[in-house]
Amino acid sequence: MKLNIVPARTGTRWVRDGVRTFFRQPLAITGLFFMFIVSISLVAIIPFVGGVLALILVPAATVGLMAAAREAEAGRFPMPLTLAIALRQGPQRRRAMLLLGVLYAIGVLIVIGISALIDGGSFAELYIGGGGITTEMVEDPSFRTAMWVSTLLYLPLSIAFWHAPALVHWHGVPPLKSLFFSAVAVFRNVGAFLLYGLMWMAMSFAAGLALLVLSAVTGSATIASFGLMPVAILIASMFFNSLWFTFRDSFSADEDPSQTAPKP
């Protein structure tokens, strides 16, 4: 396996390829992303252990979404079982993926635990239990501090796990090594990833602004309220679809997985 150093402009191509490939199979990819959300949510409601189990499954499910993008890139229709592909690759790869999930769960719980020390658990309850942010939360300085601290602490966790599930699944890298290689890959290609992140932020902002403008022009606030969720799901589906391309261009091996899914 070899780390590839890519120019900063590659970040725009990752976004473009993610969007373009999404529109090759929009129903399938959106459906798989919806299955991802529903599956994680159903596991999370299991009493006592559901929240932890849901976190453990996130890396494996993310590989499933990346595999779906790979299938769509190759012109194939990603089937529902693609979402579980990381858990169907034999006992050794399955154990490695679940171990990676355990490490991810531990990392997230540490971040949430630190936030609970700051605001008494308000942000942690919102993160784990869901629900909306109330005015009282926004006006609470300790809640705002906990939110920003959690965001800053989650950033290095996200960098370590960005490529790790794909490295375990496609290249058989041990979980701990995959975290190290993932972090190195992101930092060595930081220009591309910064541009990549900025473009997704701009797209999300533009979509929200378009809904607000449309609501203002039509005089109907329901357009923004009812359109926000579908638009958010579409953008999130495209974003997760683009993860495959960040991995494909960052690593290569003697038998590169992207060779079975040639770039158009």
Walk along the chain (264 residues) and give the pLDDT tens digit of each residue. Answer: 889 999 999 999 999 999 999 999 999 999 999 999 999 989 988 888 888 999 999 999 999 999 999 999 999 999 999 999 999 988 999 999 999 999 999 999 999 999 889 888 788 777 766 656 667 776 778 888 888 999 999 999 999 999 999 999 999 999 999 999 999 999 999 999 999 999 999 999 998 888 777 777 776 666 666 777 888 889 999 999 999 999 999 998 755 444 444 443
| Cβ pair 239, 200 in contact under 8 A | yes
| Cβ pair 178, 167 in contact under 8 A | yes
Distance CA 184, CA 23 (A): 31
Token look-up 């290095």 returns 156
| Cβ pair 138, 144 in contact under 8 A | yes
pTM: 0.87
Return all residues near 219 (Cβ < 8 A) that are at least 6 apart: none
Domain residue spans of the chain: 2-260
CA 27 to chain centre: 19
**Local structure of 193: helix, strand or coil:** helix
Phi–psi pair at 23, nearest 5 degrees = -75, -5
